[in-house]
Amino acid sequence: MTEKRFIVSLSPHLRHGRTIRQMILTTMIALIPAVAWGVYQFGFRVLVVIIAAALGAIITEATVNRVGDNPYTIKDFHAALVGLVLALLLPPAVPLWIPFLGGVLAILVGKAPFGPLGSAPLAPALVGVLILALSWPAEIDHYTQPRTAAEAVKADDAAPAEPPLTAVYVDPSDAADYCTSGLFLGNQVGAIGTISPLLLLLGGLLLLWRKVIRWQAPVGFLIGVAVTAGIAHGIAPGSVAPATFHLFTGATMFGAFFLCSEWTSTPVTPWGMFLFGLFAGGVVILFRVCGMPFGRVPWAIVLMSLATPLFDRIASTPFGKAASHA
């Protein structure tokens, strides 16, 4: 008689059912408003930029899988997400080979050497962006005026499009010319996906609600940016823009919700995540004030990612341990 044998495994026997793939797709969905705003402001060419970056990343990952004789991992959409995030950090008018090459480099240098998803010490998309920024600074610097430029202050068709941060870096007193609500709503020159703090905030809230990311790192990052900028502005109002300006320009919002909370490259302990964000935010202001033409938020976060293992040591006291020392 053959009796039925059942599956055995250790508890728990129920799982939530959330998968990595779902979490990556949720992140992409959370980015849709920002992408749509980029398309509205800069035209359909930005979609081509995004697709070029995603293709670069996906093709590279598939090739790496093939060469390494590993199972194909592009099905989890991580490579596509890397390409998307990378493209959103680039100016709208970059030559198309830049995003493609960025996607290739992000995977080839930032992810593949370390192993499967979960092993890379730095966020692959940031690695791609920073290699591009270091290697082809002139090719990267292709900003265009947004469609709503007429409403934005300082709209001057003759002048080349210049992101607020660059303008302020050249002349800090320019910060007063920007209207905060205009910046918050996304009327500014900047990278494809980073110009609308409002829509990025909404996307971030979606991620928080779906538990794709934890709140500590984004909140810490925003506090870090605001407090550092506030203190610096208070000390030297002539050379540092106010905190609101720094919160709503550049990639601050994008960094808070989509870079600071990138899983693998950031800490997992509650205080570790918060301090990671806080320090990264502070470093962003340092870079913005003391000079760096492009990629200040990516640089700050990559720098902090190098210290992730240290931040992870800031763990909570386990249950009952405090009592035993008392």
Partner 1 sequence: MRRGIKLPTRAPSGAAEKMVPPKQVVLLLRQEVGRSCKPVVKVGDAVKAGQQIADGAESGAADLHASISGEVKAFTEVLLSDGTEEKAIVIEGDGGGGVQPATKISKPLSAEPAELLERIRQAGIICASREAKSLCAVIDEAMSPRGYLNPTGEAIAKPIRHIAVRFCDTDPLVCSLRAVAGQIGKNTTALKLGIDALLKITSAEEVHFALDKTQELAAVEKLADENDIAVHRFDACQYPSFSDPLIAAAVLGKEPEVAYKRIHESGVLVLDIDTVLETAAALKSGTPVTHKTIAAVSSTGIKAVTAPIGTSLEAIAEIAAQGLSPDKVILGGPMQGMAHFTLDFPMSKSTTALTLLRREDHTKAQNDPCICCGLCSEVCPTRLTPGMLSRLCEFKEFAQAEEAHLFSCIECGCCAYVCPAGRSMVQFMVQGKSERLAARRSD
Tell me the closest approach of the beta carbon of residue 22 to partner 1, in angstroms: 7
DSSP string covering 77-145, please?
SHHHHHHHHHHHTS-TT--THHHHHHHHHIIIIIIGGG-STT--SS-HHHHHHHHHHHH-HHHH-----
180 binds partner 1 (CB under 8 A): no
| Residue closer to partner 1 (CB basis): 268 or 292 | 268
43 φ/ψ sector (left φ>0, alpha ψ -120 to 50, else beta):
left
Q: Which of residues 277-316 bind partner 1 (CB under 8 A)?
A: 312, 315-316
Candidates 10, 138, 158, 235: give the one binding partner 1 (CB under 8 A).
10
8-state DSSP, 195: S
Neighbours of 66 (CB within 10 A): 10
44 binds partner 1 (CB under 8 A): no
Binding mask 242-281 for partner 1 (x = CB under 8 A): ---------------------xx-xxxxx--x--------
CB under 8 A: which stretch of 14-22, 58-66, 143-151, 160-168 binds partner 1? 14-22
20 binds partner 1 (CB under 8 A): yes
Three-state secondary structure call for residue 1? coil
Going 264 to 289 to 103 to 33, the CA torsion angle's sign is positive
Q: How far apart are CA 322 and CA 318, in angstroms?
A: 8
CB under 8 A: which stretch of 46-54, 97-105, 160-168, 317-325 binds partner 1? 317-325
Amino acid at position 194, single letter: T
138 binds partner 1 (CB under 8 A): no
2 binds partner 1 (CB under 8 A): no
The binding site for partner 1 (CB under 8 A) comprises 3-20, 22-23, 115-119, 211-212, 214, 263-264, 266-270, 273, 312, 315-324
